[in-house]
């Protein structure tokens, strides 16, 4: 193995490691502030665009909601079982038979009068 490669993978010296550990909270705070400022700038820009183009904004929100709803419905719905299909068919058949019987009885009453 090459000596240069060994030195790259070796852990930092104790002094450098301690310095990095001491500097870490300050770096994290700075990066969080930067992310917060960036998010605020993006939010303000989106607000301005939405005020300039309200109908486009409404269309985009409606379309994205429709797309998300369709995808969520497809992802979380399950296909009906055979017994559910059979039960639904029997209910439709019973409703149709009742309607046919009611129509026939109405016609018979008119005929008798």
| Confidence (pTM) | 0.41
- Secondary structure (H, E, C), 60-113: HHHHHHHHHHHHHHHHHCCCCCHHHHHHHHHHHHHHHHHHHHHHHHHHHHHHHC
Report how far residue 89's alpha carbon sits from residue 112's, in angstroms, rounded to the nearest whole number.
34
Question: What are the backbone dihedrals phi and psi of residue 37, each rounded to the nearest 5 degrees, phi first?
Answer: -65, -40
Structure token pair of residue 28: 């994290």
Predicted confidence (pLDDT) at residue 9 exceeds the cutoff of 70:
no
Percentage above 70 pLDDT, the chain: 87
Cα–Cα–Cα angle for 30, 33, 35, rounded to 5 degrees: 110
Q: Mind listing the pLDDT tens digit for each residue in 23-68?
A: 888 899 999 999 999 999 999 999 999 999 999 999 999 999 999 9
């Amino acid at each position: 193995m090459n000596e240069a490669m060994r030195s790259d993978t070796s852990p930092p010296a104790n002094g450098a490691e301690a310095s990095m550990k001491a500097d870490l909270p300050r770096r994290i705070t700075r990066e969080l502030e930067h992310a917060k400022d960036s998010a605020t700038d993006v939010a303000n820009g989106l607000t301005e665009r939405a005020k300039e183009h309200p109908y486009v904004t409404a269309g985009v929100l409606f379309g994205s909601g429709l797309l998300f709803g369709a995808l969520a419905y497809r992802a979380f719905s399950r296909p009906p079982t055979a017994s559910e299909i059979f039960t639904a068919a029997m209910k439709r058949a019973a409703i149709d038979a009742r309607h046919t019987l009611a129509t026939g009885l109405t016609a018979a009453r008119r005929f008798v009068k």
